[in-house]
Structure formats: structure tokens, C-alpha cells
């Protein structure tokens, strides 16, 4: 067993864990962040997407020990003061979530895009979600949701929350 200390969604955690443990298994099974979904476990589908030190990664192919002294954000950490992030609101409004299993991963990817490109093209959107797989929606509504999220974000910047 090894010891690590890290910050998840603004909260400090100390844990003792097996060295081979993935960040995905660690976040879900030891810390209870079930918004990190388990699906392929091979880095293909994006269901387990989180930010590690601000970078979008698949937590299933990340070593938990590599997050020692680092900062992790999961989908649980996106809402602030009880208010959902514009991407989350847009996914609900558009019906971009059907079974919902892929949704946290898509939301994490979409937020990264909007942080860098507040007004993305459809190609920008397709690019950033290319590492996320959805078996239900056919992607059309997901792309619409991300476009709507961009509008909500721009409106918030102009008119305030």
C-alpha cells in the first residue's frame, strides 16, 4: 500500500491504496465520486473523463498514484453554489442525455472546449468529443446541447447570471 494526498473538487483527501489502482477505481470505490463512470476501462469511450491538474484525461488509464499532490475535478465539482454549469443546464434542456451513462464524460469534454473557445464551430465540437462514445443519442442532440451551452455562457457574460 502507498499513501497519497490530493484535492478532489476542492476537498483534501488522504488515502492509502494499491500502487496499480487506476484513478477511476480510486475516485469511485474509495472516495465515492460515482459521476466518474466505468465503461470500457481501456481509454476508448470517455465515460470516466475527469480533469487532472486542469487537463482532460481518461481516469481509467491514469494511475491514481500519479495524482498525488494534484488536483482532480469530476462532474460533481462543476456546479457552484447549487447552480449547475451552463453545459449541464444545456444537456438537460436539449434532452442530450438518454440513458445518461456517457453524459458526465461529454460534459467534462464540452466544458474544456467552451473554456478555450466560447463560440465554437460544429467541427470544434466534433473534435473535442471525438474521445467520447454515446450509444443512445446519435450525437445530434449532444452537439445542439454544446451549442446551447455556448449561448448560455455568452448571455451570462453579457447580462450576468
Partner 1 sequence: MEYFSPTSVEDAVSILHKYGERSRLIAGGTDLMVDMRFKDQPDCLVNINRLSNLSFIKPDEDCLRIGALTTIRELEANHLIKTRFRVLWNAAHQFASLQIRNAATIGGNIARASPAGETLAPLLTLEAKARFVTADGEQLLPLERFFLGPGRTALGAGGLLTGIEVPYPDDGARGVYLKHAVRGPMDIVVVGVATTITFDGRSAVNEARIGLAAVGPTPMRARGSEQLLQGKHLDLPLIEEAARGAAEEAKPISDHRASAEYRRWIVESLTRRALTQAWQNV
Ligand X SMILES: Cc1cc2nc3c(=O)[nH]c(=O)nc-3n(C[C@H](O)[C@H](O)[C@H](O)COP(=O)(O)OP(=O)(O)OC[C@H]3O[C@@H](n4cnc5c(N)ncnc54)[C@H](O)[C@@H]3O)c2cc1C
Could you tell me the smallest distance in angstroms from the CB atom of residue 38 to ligand FES?
6
Could you tell me the smallest distance in angstroms from the CB atom of residue 18 to partner 1?
7
Is 5 a binding residue for ligand FES by CB under 6 A? The answer is no
In contact, 23 and 70? CB cutoff 8 Å: no
Is 16 a binding residue for partner 1 by CB under 8 A? The answer is no
Could you tell me the smallest distance in angstroms from the CB atom of residue 63 to ligand X?
8
Is 62 a binding residue for ligand FES by CB under 6 A? The answer is no
Q: Which of 78, 134, 143, 150 binds ligand FES (CB under 6 A)?
A: 134
In contact, 38 and 24? CB cutoff 8 Å: yes
Is 137 a binding residue for ligand FES by CB under 6 A? The answer is yes
Q: Residue 61 burial by CB count (10 A; 0-12/13-18/19+): exposed, middle or buried?
A: middle
Is 19 a binding residue for partner 1 by CB under 8 A? The answer is yes
Is 109 a binding residue for ligand FES by CB under 6 A? The answer is no
Is 65 a binding residue for partner 1 by CB under 8 A? The answer is yes
Q: Which residues bind partner 1 (CB under 8 A)?
A: 2, 18-20, 22, 41-44, 46, 49, 55-58, 60-63, 65-66, 68, 109, 112, 127-128, 130-132
Q: Which residues bind ligand FES (CB under 6 A)?
A: 38-41, 43-48, 58, 60, 97-102, 134-137
Amino acid at each position: 500500500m502507498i499513501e497519497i494526498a490530493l484535492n478532489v473538487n476542492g476537498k483534501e483527501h488522504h488515502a492509502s491504496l494499491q500502487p496499480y489502482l487506476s484513478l477511476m477505481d480510486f475516485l469511485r470505490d474509495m472516495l465515492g465520486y460515482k459521476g466518474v463512470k466505468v465503461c470500457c476501462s481501456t481509454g476508448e469511450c470517455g465515460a470516466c473523463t475527469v480533469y487532472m491538474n486542469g487537463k482532460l484525461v481518461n481516469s481509467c488509464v491514469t494511475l491514481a498514484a500519479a495524482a498525488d499532490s494534484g488536483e482532480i475535478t469530476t462532474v460533481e465539482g462543476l456546479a457552484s453554489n447549487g447552480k449547475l454549469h451552463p453545459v449541464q443546464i444545456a444537456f438537460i434542456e436539449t434532452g442530450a442525455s438518454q440513458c445518461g451513462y456517457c453524459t458526465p464524460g461529454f460534459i467534462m469534454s464540452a466544458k474544456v472546449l467552451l473554456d478555450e473557445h466560447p463560440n465554437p464551430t460544429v467541427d470544434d465540437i466534433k473534435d473535442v468529443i471525438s474521445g467520447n462514445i454515446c450509444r443512445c443519442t446519435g450525437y445530434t442532440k449532444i452537439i445542439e446541447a454544446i451549442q446551447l451551452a455556448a449561448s448560455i455562457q455568452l448571455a451570462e457574460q453579457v447580462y450576468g447570471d
